[in-house]
Amino acid sequence: MATYCIGDVHGCYNELKELLCKIEFNVQKDYLIFTGDLIGRGPYPDKTLDLIMSFGDHATATLGNHDVNFLAVEAGIVKSRAKDNLEVLLNSQRRHEYVQYLCSLPFLHVDKQKQLAVCHAGLYPLWSFADAKRRAKELSAVLKDDVKRQILLLNMYGNTPEAYVPGMQGLALWRFTLNAFTRMRLCDAAGTLDFKNSAIAPSQVKDQGLYPWFDLGDIGRGKNKQYTVVFGHWAALGAKCQKEHVIALDTGCVWGDRLSAWRYDDDRIFSVKSVGYSEIKNA
C-alpha cells in the first residue's frame, strides 16, 4: 500500500498511463493525489478525467488554475480558447459529471496521519497552516454552492487584491484565496503576489525583491507538527526546490519535459518523458 503525489497532468493521458505503469499503481491498494491542472493545453482532457475519476476513492486532486478556468468556460462566463483544448469536454456527454467532479475537489488536501499537505500553487506564506486550511475550506464551500460559484467565476479573473489584509471578506477574500492556491509563484517580503514573472526561475528576479513563496514564512507548520507540502504549477522551477519539507512536482510534461510522481512512503521520485507538444508556447 503506497501513496503517490503526481504533478500537473494537463491532459497528458498517455504519459499518465505510462507513469502509472512505471510505479505499478494498484487501484485496490495504492492512493494517488494530483497537484491540480488535470486538464488544459494537453491532448486528452476527457480521457485523463475519465481515468482519474475511475479510481474512485483511491485518487483525489487539488484544483489548479486550468481546472477552474474550465468551470468558467463551461458556465459561459469566458470563451474557450483553442490552445486550452477544452472543446472535447464541452461536447462530451459527461460534461456535467466533469463539472461536478471538479467542484468536489479541494484547494488543499491535508492528511493528518501522514502529515502531508498537497495544493496546486502553494501555501500563502503570511498565513499560518491553520489559516490556509480554513481559507481553502471556505473557498471549496463557495465552489459547491451554485449561486456563490457563479459569482466567483464571474469575478475571478484579475490580479487584485495582490496581498492579504486581515479582515478581508467576501469577494475580495475569495479572489485572493483563489489566486494564492492556484496562481502564486513569487511574492515580496510583505506578501504581495507577483503575476508578471510567471515562467522564470527565482534566480532571475532576486534583484527585484521577489522570492519563491516557499522561502518566506513557516511553511506547513501545523500545531506541534511539521507537514510536508507538495505543490505543482511552476514548471519553470524544474522541480528544483531546496526547502526542507517542500516538494515541487510540476516537471512540465505538457511543455515537452516529463511527468513526475513522488512516493510518500520512501521519498522516491518517478518520471516519464513527455512525447512533446511543440505547438504549445507558453504556460
Domain boundaries, the chain: 3-273
112-165 pLDDT per residue, tens: 999 999 999 999 999 999 999 999 999 999 999 999 999 999 999 999 999 999
281, pLDDT greater than 70: no
Q: Is 38 helix (H, G, I), strand (E, B) or coil?
A: coil
> Strand pairing of 116-119 and 228-231?
parallel
**Dihedral-angle region of residue 120 (phi above 0 means left; psi in -120 to 50 means alpha; beta otherwise):** alpha
How confident is the model at residue 278, as a pLDDT?
Answer: 47
22-72 pLDDT per residue, tens: 999 999 999 999 999 999 999 999 999 999 999 999 999 999 999 999 999
**Cα–Cα dist 76/24, whole Å:** 40
Superfamily of domain 3-273: Metallo-dependent phosphatases (3.60.21.10)
**What are the b/e assignments for 138-156, b being 16+ CB within 10 Å?**
ebbebbeeeeebeebbeeb
195-249 pLDDT per residue, tens: 988 777 777 777 789 999 999 999 999 888 999 999 999 999 999 998 999 999 9
Instruction: Look up cell 485523463; give the residue.
Output: 48
Query: Vertex 179, ends 116 and 255: CA angle to 5°?
Result: 80
Nearest to 159 by CA among 129, 182, 137: 182
Cβ-proximal residues to 161 (8 Å cutoff; 6+ apart), any chain: 168, 172, 175, 176
Q: 6 and 19 in contact (C-beta within 8 Å)?
A: yes
79-116 pLDDT per residue, tens: 999 999 999 999 999 999 999 999 999 999 999 999 99
Alpha carbon distance, N-terminus to C-terminus of the chain: 35
Query: Vertex 102, ends 126 and 213: CA angle to 5°?
Result: 20
| Full-model pTM | 0.95
| Amino acid in the structure at residue 93 | Q
Beta strands in the chain (DSSP E): 3-6, 31-34, 59-61, 108-111, 116-119, 186-187, 193-194, 211-212, 221-222, 225-226, 228-231, 246-248, 258-263, 268-273
